[in-house]
C-alpha cells in the first residue's frame, strides 16, 4: 500500500523512522520504510543502521553523494508499493494521525497530496532567518494553498503515485537547490490533480543564516536559468510574477539601480541578528533582475 521514502545526509533519523513505523503498525497497513544514506559519514551511518532491526524497514548506504533528486529517484525505483510518501530527514510529524491523514486521500481523485510545513514556537529561533522565513512563507493553511495549488510545493512532506513521480522526475536536469520549482512546474504542465491538506511536519533542520541566504540565491539562479530557456511558461511563482510587473511598469532599471546601491546593506540586514524576511524578498527580486540584465 505505502512506501515511505527518506533520503538522508549526515542526520540522525532513527526517532523519525521509529515514529512512522509505530504509526503504520497502528493503522494495520502494508507498508515499507526505506532510508537512503547519500554519502553520509560513518557517525550517522552507525546511528541509523539500527533502522534495519525494525520490521518492514531498510537502511541503505550510498557511499557517494548523488544529490537530492537522484537519491529520491533511486528510492522510488526501490519502492514496491504504488503510493510514495516522501519525507526529508530533518522533519517530524505534527499529528498522531499523520499516516491516517494521508491514507484517507489514497482512494480519492488526488494524484499528489502535500501535507505542509510547521515550525515549533521557540524564542531562540527569532534570530534564525530560516525559521522566520518558514513561518511567514511556508507555514500556510491548506485552504490557502489549495487556491493556488502549484505555488507552495514543499517536497519535504508529500504523497504521490509512484508511476507519476517517476515520469516527472526523470525529466529533471538539475541537482540545484530550488528544484521544487521544477517539480511544481511539471505538476502544473501535466495538469496533475494536486491537493493540499493540513498534515504538517515540523521542520527541525534550521541552517545558519548565511547558508540559507546563499541557498536562496542558488534558487534564484535556477529560476533565472529556467526562465531564460522558456521552461516556465506555466507557473505560479511569486518572484517571476513580481518581475513581470516591474518590467510591465518600466521600473526595472530603477529597481536595479536601488538594488546595486544598497545590496551590501540589504545582505547585512537579512543575515544579521534580527533577520528581515521582507528584505530577503526585495533582495531576491533585485538579484533576479541583475541576472536578467546579463542575458
What percent of the chain is predicted at pLDDT more than 90? 79
Query: Would the pLDDT of 132 be above 90?
Result: yes
* Residue the block writes with cell 507555514: 139
Confidence band for 294, pLDDT divided at 50, 70 and 90 = low
pLDDT category of residue 185 using cuts at 50, 70 and 90: confident
Q: What is the pTM of this model?
A: 0.93
255-287: per-residue pLDDT in tens?
A: 999 999 999 999 999 999 999 999 999 999 999
The pLDDT score that the predictor gives to residue 292 is 86
Find the mean pLDDT for residues 218-225: 91
Amino acid at each position: 500500500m505505502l512506501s515511505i521514502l527518506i533520503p538522508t545526509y549526515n542526520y540522525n533519523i532513527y526517532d523519525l523512522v521509529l515514529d512512522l513505523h509505530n504509526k503504520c503498525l497502528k493503522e494495520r497497513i502494508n507498508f515499507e520504510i526505506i532510508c537512503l544514506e547519500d554519502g553520509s559519514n560513518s557517525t550517522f551511518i552507525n546511528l541509523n543502521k539500527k533502522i534495519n532491526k525494525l520490521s518492514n524497514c531498510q537502511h541503505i548506504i550510498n557511499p557517494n553523494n548523488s544529490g537530492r533528486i537522484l537519491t529520491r529517484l533511486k528510492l522510488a525505483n526501490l519502492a514496491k508499493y504504488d503510493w510514495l510518501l516522501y519525507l526529508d530527514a530533518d522533519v517530524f510529524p505534527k499529528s498522531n494521525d499523520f499516516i491516517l491523514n494521508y491514507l484517507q486521500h489514497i482512494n480519492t481523485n488526488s494524484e499528489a497530496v502535500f501535507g505542509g510545513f510547521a515550525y515549533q514556537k521557540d524564542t531562540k529561533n527569532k534570530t534564525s532567518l530560516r525559521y522566520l522565513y518558514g513561518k511567514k512563507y511556508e507555514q500556510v493553511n491548506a485552504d490557502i494553498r489549495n487556491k493556488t495549488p502549484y505555488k507552495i510545493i514543499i517536497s519535504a512532506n508529500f504523497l504521490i503515485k509512484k508511476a507519476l513521480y517517476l515520469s516527472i522526475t526523470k525529466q529533471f536536469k538539475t541537482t540545484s537547490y530550488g528544484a521544487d520549482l521544477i517539480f511544481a512546474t511539471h505538476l502544473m504542465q501535466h495538469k496533475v490533480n494536486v491537493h493540499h491538506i493540513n498534515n504538517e511536519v515540523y521542520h527541525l533542520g534550521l541552517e545558519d543564516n548565511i547558508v540559507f541566504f546563499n541557498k536562496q540565491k542558488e534558487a534564484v539562479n535556477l529560476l533565472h536559468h529556467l526562465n531564460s530557456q522558456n521552461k516556465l511558461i506555466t507557473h505560479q511563482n511569486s518572484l517571476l510574477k513580481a518581475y513581470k510587473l516591474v518590467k510591465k511598469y518600466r521600473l526595472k532599471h530603477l529597481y536595479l539601480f536601488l538594488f546595486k546601491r544598497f545590496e551590501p546593506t540589504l545582505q547585512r540586514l537579512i543575515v544579521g541578528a534580527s533577520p528581515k524576511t521582507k528584505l530577503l524578498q526585495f533582495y531576491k527580486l533585485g538579484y533576479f533582475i541583475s541576472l536578467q540584465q546579463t542575458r
